[in-house]
Structure 1
Amino acid sequence: MWALLRSLAYTLAALILPLVALATYRLTLHPLARVPGPRAAAVSNAWLAWQVRGGRLLALGKRLHKTYGPVVRVGVDEVWVCSKEGFAAVYVGLGGGGFEKGGFYLATALNKPEMDWTGGLHFPDTLDLLSEFDVKRYRLQRRLMGPVYQAANLKKFERAVDEVMERAVARLRELDGAEVDLKEWMHIITVECLGAVVLSWSPGYIRNASDGGTSAQGYLGWRRKTIFGLFPLVTTASFFSKTVARQFSNLWGVTFKTPRNFKPFFTPVYQKSSGRITAALRKINPTTDPRKDLLADLINLHKSRPDEFTEPYLRRLAVTNFGAGHETMTSALTAAMAMIASHAAAARAVAAESRNTAPGGSRCEYTAASIREAQRLHPVIGMALPRRTPRGGVCLHGHFLPAGTTIGCNPVSLHRDEEIFGGDADVFVPERWFRDEGQGRGVIERYNLTWGGGGRTCPGRNLAEMVLGRVVQGLWREFDVRVVEMPPEEEVRYYFMAMLTDVRVRFVPVDEGVEGGGR
């Protein structure tokens, strides 16, 4: 009996002592040991993953730097930095002057890589913008697609967005002021706008007054991706083993099922775009398509530069407009509508401006400022945009961060930094975007991660801003938006892709409500 107990004790010691030694090293001897932060975060990336699992990234972003200072250790080899100096070091210039994308982005990759004999991963060149690690390749891709996504070119699609809004307004009026989920309706409108602009097509979401659960399903996917992103080695293994992916997902409780009869809009998007591209590129008797949408522009770009803007690029970008746009635009629209509607003065100003501007008329400046302010407080990204420190490392705020350290600025934290945004950084103040001195627009634009950092800013920004402006203006022109339920920020579920969740509103037609809306 005693021999069995001794054997068991030795076995436990053999298992526990190495873990204790590893934890001790990470806490005391690791190169990042002197960087402040939660002690559990220094021991294992599981600490941050646990925050992600609970959707607590909004609360975490607001709290960490206020507690620990401008540089915080949030993982074994990861730090978040919140300062002008940190932003400039990490993001200014493409690649941040040597700061390349971190391993987190493996979890967002659209293609399975090949592995060489050294263990290096090589992804096919198919225009995977979010997960592209090759800076030179990314530069080329951005340069090629740039003209199509310039604001001047996108202006011709404004009418398509306005026509979607006419249908959306009519359908919302039929709901007779009933309480709705704001995020779902912003997703309905977003996908309809993308369908109209890119493919001259409607998914039928407005007609059905439902997105079929696609927004909720997609957000569960981001919960899973965010956790996988914190463990690049596991993500790499999952490329080559579905068993690893399944078991790790089950371990963290982020496995989710696809509902019965679930119909994602990506299937018809792929079918329609693929069919049109194939027809247009036939060597014999190519089909002449009269539609003048964004896909037509991309097809023409390929025809003019086939050796650079290749067919794989064309096919991927046609779908990427939806893949990259449907959630980011939904997030921004949800934040904008919720913030404006829950601040009475802003609601009155936006309503008055929208109702005094004819549809398709001039830009509404206060509305645009309100949208920017909402995105500042509730950015599309809920955790740091990770990069890796270059050879030689970097010193920030008295801390040396060796080469290979994962580093980034969390938009939630950076956008509430009082040095950049002023003493009222935690408050929704659209007027800050009109300030000319001190914390003026130039300063807050420079240190703004709403659309990403440095040379990695979102290539679809102009398209998104065009849609955001016309949708918000169109809704406030026709409705007073009443917030029925706004959850406390600590209960909002944020992941890497972040959205205001569980906001319930009523769209009350102007002729039935009190002008200006508000809560």
Structure 2
Amino acid sequence: MAIVDLFLSHPGYIAASIPVLVLLVHIVPWLVDSHSIRDIKGPWLAKFSDFWLGYWAAQGKRSEHVHEMHKKYAGTFVRLAPNHVSIADSEALQTVYAHGNGTLKSNFYDAFVSLRRGLFNTRSRPEHTRKRKIVSHIFSQKNVLEFEVNVKQALLNLTKQWDRLCEGGVKGISGDEGEGGWKGHDGRVWFDCLPWFNYLAFDIIGDLAFGAPFGMLDACADSAPVAINNEAMMAQYGSTKPDAEAKEPEVMHVPAIQILNSRGEFSASMGVLPPWIRPLVKKIPWYAKGNQAVKNLAGIAVAAVAKRLAADAQGEKSERVDLLRRLQESRDDEGKRMGKEELTAEALTQLIAGSDTTSNSSCAITYHLAHNPAVQHKLQKELDDALGLDDSPVLSYEQIKSLPYLDAVINEGLRVHSTSAMGLPRLVPEGGITVLDRFFPEGTVLSVPSYTIHREKRTWGEDCDEFRPERWFERDQTDIQRCFNPFSYGPRACVGKNLATMELFMIMATVIRRYEFVLENFDAPFETREGFLRKPLGCRVGVRRRNLDPL
């Protein structure tokens, strides 16, 4: 008590002790080494603090720098934080992420919770099992094929807009000639294809998850309605007996794509910080802006789901089959349906998972095809040979799902670009686990970086940094499948893989058959920025319609 009184009577002692306390908080865990990882090499700062990983996550370059650390220390194991080890070996995937190993999602995923925990960010194994049983059958191959009509309609809207640009060189759609484009040499129209792929992906997932497209392709603009007050919207429209006298909850239109990008960067950088400091960090302007993006993104889901629930409650139930309807009708093992908050959280999960991944991958594959004209022409020949005189603006999945070179091109794009690139963190359970003959005790965080194992030379070859689809026919298929991780692995793997695959096949086959692409600047690097996913920063291309008439 005397010591406390001494500190209270001399505030200077408190100020002087803060640096000492900070050092002790970081030095003592390293000295104690409760995770037995002191011998593992890594950035010097990472031994004592989460700051190194937090810094590069906030800079949008996490995966690239983790990859550089693995090359620098020439080791399978690299220490990224006081209790976090990155394992750059595809053999570790089966141990760290597989069924039955007991690993859990780390507190990294707490930073992704907004309305409530969904399938993606729940850390409870029983709760995840319950949610996955509800959701997984929705994405069976049979059910996914029912969604093809939605994908076709959005693709038709895209081709109409691109045909219009190619024919007339329309300049300045939505006041932005970068998105609208203009005629240039060789009769091409020049524009950034990334916004268009964003509009396409958002309209598809909006149509599937919320009952109607956002209308971005029609408007040629990034805009979606968001609830201004989530609680008021859910209370009014989520009721089976909406109050007719109540004032209709307000919505406003926001740039959803921009918000999704900000939310991903915020959550991914916040997630690597210690939980105790996160409330303080949110006060920093950059993080505060990201925190608002989290709320706005949740508001998009709230507004869309509330609209559907209101129509149902008023006897205007739609007969359309979509993801939201499937979620509404699903039941758990006890026969219970999702409540409105859980339903909205799962719809939000589908919005996030089904938009950025598709648009990022489509843009990246288009870039690599434009950067490799021989590959583009080879793919176009495969499509032409398979489709003959069919000049339909949109191709069906049945027409192209078995084309081997198309499959190789898409897989190579997912490998080289690695949209889901970071090592997803897993917490070692009680009793510890052994990975590649090394034991890790309970509480250690482990991850296997997809960006790095997609560049594993023993599997992919010395030219692993190059985009070359032919490797999918040359390399051992068992090795390739063991090392290919675009949708994660094990019980927490992407539940929407079948839908994502169908979308990518239809999108890439349609645009590559119908158009020819060249890069505006062939020597410019393909720049990306990573939030939770690696997103291209743009891809300016020259586009013109192909002549499919054999005469």
SS of residue paired to 2:400: coil
SS of aligned partner of 1:455: helix
Structure 2 Cα separation of the partners of residues 487 and 297 of structure 1: 44
Whole-angstrom CA distance in 1 between matches of 2:359 and 2:130: 28
Which of the numbers 443, 446, 450 marks the counterpart of 1:404? 443
Partners of 2:120 and 2:349 within 8 A in 1: no
Residues 1-400 of structure 1: pairs in structure 2 closer than 5 A: 14-20=17-23, 23-25=26-28, 29-30=32-33, 31-68=36-73, 69-93=75-99, 97-111=101-115, 128-175=118-165, 176=169, 177-212=188-223, 213-234=255-276, 238=279, 244=280, 246-247=282-283, 249-250=284-285, 253-256=286-289, 270-280=302-312, 282=313, 286-302=315-331, 307-312=335-340, 313-356=342-385, 357=387, 358=390, 359-360=395-396, 361-363=399-401, 364-397=403-436, 399-400=438-439
Distance 1:266 1:329, change over 3 A: farther
d(CA) in 2 for partners of 1:279, 1:424 = 55
8 Å CA contact retained: 2:90, 2:482: no
Q: 1:178 to 1:266 in 2, by over 3 A?
A: farther
1:297 partner amino acid: R
Q: Deviations over 1:280-310 (max 9, x none)?
A: 4x5xx844523233333334435x9883343
Are the counterparts in 2 of residues 70 and 397 from structure 1 also a CA contact under 8 Å? no
Please, what is the CA RMSD of the aligned residues? Answer: 3.2
Query: How far apart, in 2, do the equivalents of 1:230 and 1:394 lie?
Result: 22
2:484 is aligned, of 433, 448, 455, to 448
Please give the alpha-carbon distance, in whole angstroms, between the structure 2 residues aligned to 1:170 and 1:34.
59
SS in structure 1 opposite 2:530?
coil
Question: Which amino acid in 1 is paired with 2:453?
Answer: L
1:441–1:110: structure 2 CA closer, same or farther, 3 Å change rule? farther
The offset of 1:429, in angstroms, is 2.1
Displacement of 1:494 in angstroms is 1.8
Q: Distance in 2 between matches of 1:164 and 1:292?
A: 16
Deviation sequence 1:471-507 (CA, Å, 0-9, x none): 1111112111222247536x53223222122322233
Is the CA contact (8 Å cut-off) linking 1:100 and 1:133 kept in structure 2?
yes
Please report how far the alpha carbon of residue 184 of structure 1 lies from its aligned counterpart in structure 2 after TM superposition.
Answer: 1.7
Which letter does structure 1 place at the counterpart of 2:361? A
Alpha-carbon displacement from aligned partner over 1:238-278 (angstroms, at most 9, x marks no partner):
3xxxxx3532x33xx4443899xxx9787565444333345
State the Cα distance separating 1:132 from its structure 2 match: 0.9
Say which of 460, 467, 473 aligns to 1:428: 467
TM score, norm. by length of structure 2: 0.77
Render the CA deviation track for 1:38-80: whole Å, top value 9, x for unaligned: 1111121111111122222242143121222110001111110
- Measured in 2, the distance between the counterparts of 1:21 and 1:462 equals 50
1:515 aligned residue: none
Unaligned runs of at least 5 residues, structure 2: 1-9, 170-187, 224-254
Q: SS of the counterpart of 1:493?
A: strand
Matched residue SS, 1:499: strand
**1:325 Cα offset (Å):** 1.3
1:53, 1:254 within 8 Å by CA — same for their partners in 2?
no
Amino acid at match of 1:275: K
Q: Distance in 2 between matches of 1:478 and 1:98?
A: 48
SS at match of 2:529: coil
C-alpha distance 369-220 of structure 1, shift in aligned 2 (>3 A): same
- Give 1:452's aligned amino acid: S
Of residues 69-78 and 189-198 in structure 1, the stretch that sits farther from structure 2 once superposed is: 189-198
Secondary structure of the residue aligned to 2:423 is: coil
CA distance in 2, matches of 1:58, 1:66: 12
Aligned residue type for 2:104: E
2:89–2:453 CA contact under 8 A, matched in 1: yes
- Report which stretch shifted further, 285-294 or 53-62: 285-294
Identity score, percent: 22
State the one-letter code of the partner of 1:83.
D
Provide the rounded CA distance (Å) in 2 between the counterparts of 1:405 and 1:89.
Answer: 14
Structure 2 letter corresponding to 1:62: H
The range that moved more, 85-94 or 307-316, is 307-316
User: For 1:222 and 1:129, how far apart are their aligned partners in 2?
Assistant: 17
How far does the alpha carbon of each residue in 1:104-141 deviate from its partner, in whole angstroms, 9 at most, with x for none?
00101134xxxxxxxxxxxxxx6601111111221122
Structure 2 letter corresponding to 1:41? A
* Deviation (angstroms), 1:8: 12
Shift of 1:89: 1.6
8 A Cα contact 2:198 2:355, kept in partner: yes
Contact 2:383–2:513 under 8 Å retained in 1: yes
1:388 counterpart letter in structure 2: L
Q: Name the amino acid aligned to 1:509.
A: R
Partner SS state of residue 534, structure 2: coil
CA displacement at 1:399 relative to structure 2: 4.7
